[in-house]
Chains A and B, each alone.
Chain A
Amino acid sequence: MADVFDRVKEIIVERLDVDESKVTEGASFKDDLEADSLDVVELVMELEDEFDMEISDEEAEKINTVGDAVSYINSTQ
């Protein structure tokens, strides 16, 4: 099974329709990947499904970059 970063990246590339090379750990969803706030909410929903977990609203609000998402998921696995 691919590692967490690769699985997250795949979802981001598909959902936000961005080039794979742009999806780095430090990339900000809003500033670098041109996601609006609704896109981020939706991404979080997809990550919840992909990793079979629930991300609380409080935690979701802290996820601003690709790295934030990956480390949050790693912390729960």
Chain B
Amino acid sequence: MLNGKTALVTGASRGIGRAIAMELGKQGANVVVNYSGSKDKADAVVEEIKAMGNGDNAISIQANVADSTEVKDLIKTTVDTFGSVDILVNNAGITRDNLLMRMKEEEFDEVIDTNLKGVFNCIKGVTRQMMKQRSGKIINLASVVGVTGNPGQVNYVAAKAGVIGMTKSVAKELAARNINVNAVAPGFISTDMTEGLSEEAKDQMYDMIPLNRLGEPEDVAKVVRFLATDDANYVTGQTIHVDGGMVM
């Protein structure tokens, strides 16, 4: 379904990013597995994608998305290797949770730099190539907390709400060039980020989720895959919740 397309997935060494990279690779796309620190894990994802039998269709590239120079190199290497960049999935993200009254300025800045400015850097970086190609799919990972708010996460929530707004603006700017820009907002997904929660906290979560379970990274990856294909050509500027019905 994505044969011949090239997808760049940021923060793809684990969790949701890893599942997205695998899903796009399974559909035949060339996949760039971007990572910040976990080279071994990123290389393992590359090997798993290659093992699916679509050829030599994955590489890993280190880059910190908060650094615009590193992002330029990341995109250049992507285009030099595979000849195009058709799909950008902005997934890289960090948390530095703290109550507002306890949150340090650095904790706020770090999360904004990676989770919001990082998305800007990557979108800006691929736009030239996608405008030339007269096609492209940009998918930003937001979060339902960007819609609802969440105590202890003012930095993360501000960044994710920002991503939703950025998605809409860029969708309007680039629509005339046949570039679709959408966001996917996961709810509670079982990853390293949620694994640390207590059983009690998890039970409380289930009460808030009509489908009564945590999501899996693959649940998110399949929606991203839809948005990355031509099946979603008439969808742009949207934020799709993948949250078991938690936020309606």
Q: Smallest distance from the beta carbon of B79 to chain A beta carbons, Å?
A: 13
A45 lies within 8 A of B128 (CB): yes
Set A38, A42, A45: member contacting B173, Cβ < 8 A = A38
Contact indicator per residue, chain B 123-166, by CB within 8 Å of chain A (1) or not (0): 00000100110000000000000000000000000000000000
> How many residues of A are in contact with the other chain, CB < 8 A?
4
Contact indicator per residue, chain A 49-65, by CB within 8 Å of chain B (1) or not (0): 00000000000000000
Give the contacts of A1-56 with B (CB-CB under 8 A): 36, 38, 42, 45
CA distance A38 to B173 in the complex (A): 8
The answer to whether B177 has its CB under 8 Å from any CB of chain A is: yes
The answer to whether B1 has its CB under 8 Å from any CB of chain A is: no
CA distance A36 to B177 in the complex (A): 12
Residues of A within 8 A of B131 (CB): 42, 45
A38 lies within 8 A of B177 (CB): yes
Give the contacts of B166-221 with A (CB-CB under 8 A): 173, 176-177
Residues of A within 8 A of B132 (CB): 45
Q: Is the interface of A mostly helix, strand, loop or mixed?
A: helix
CA distance A36 to B174 in the complex (A): 12
CA distance A45 to B127 in the complex (A): 11
CA distance A38 to B177 in the complex (A): 9
CA distance A38 to B127 in the complex (A): 12
Residues of B within 8 A of A45 (CB): 128, 131-132
Give the contacts of B36-95 with A (CB-CB under 8 A): none
CA distance A45 to B130 in the complex (A): 12
Residues of A within 8 A of B176 (CB): 36, 38
Residues of A within 8 A of B177 (CB): 38, 42
Question: Which residue from chain A places its CB closest to the CB of B127 in the assembled complex?
Answer: A41
Q: Smallest distance from the beta carbon of A51 to chain B beta carbons, Å?
A: 16
Residues of B within 8 A of A38 (CB): 173, 176-177
CA distance A38 to B174 in the complex (A): 9
CA distance A61 to B93 in the complex (A): 33
CA distance A38 to B134 in the complex (A): 13
Q: Smallest distance from the beta carbon of A16 to chain B beta carbons, Å?
A: 13
Residues of A within 8 A of B128 (CB): 45
CA distance A38 to B131 in the complex (A): 10
Residues of B within 8 A of A36 (CB): 176
Question: Which residue from chain A places its CB closest to the CB of B177 in the assembled complex?
Answer: A38
Q: Smallest distance from the beta carbon of B64 to chain A beta carbons, Å?
A: 23
Q: Smallest distance from the beta carbon of B25 to chain A beta carbons, Å?
A: 30
CA distance A28 to B128 in the complex (A): 23
Question: Which residue from chain A places its CB closest to the CB of B174 in the assembled complex?
Answer: A38
CA distance A70 to B131 in the complex (A): 23
| A contact residues vs B (CB 8 Å cutoff) | 36, 38, 42, 45
Question: Could you jot down 6 A-B contacts, CB within 8 Å?
Answer: A36-B176, A38-B173, A38-B177, A42-B131, A45-B128, A45-B132
Additional 7 contacts, C-beta under 8 A, given A36-B176, A45-B131: A38-B173, A38-B176, A38-B177, A42-B131, A42-B177, A45-B128, A45-B132
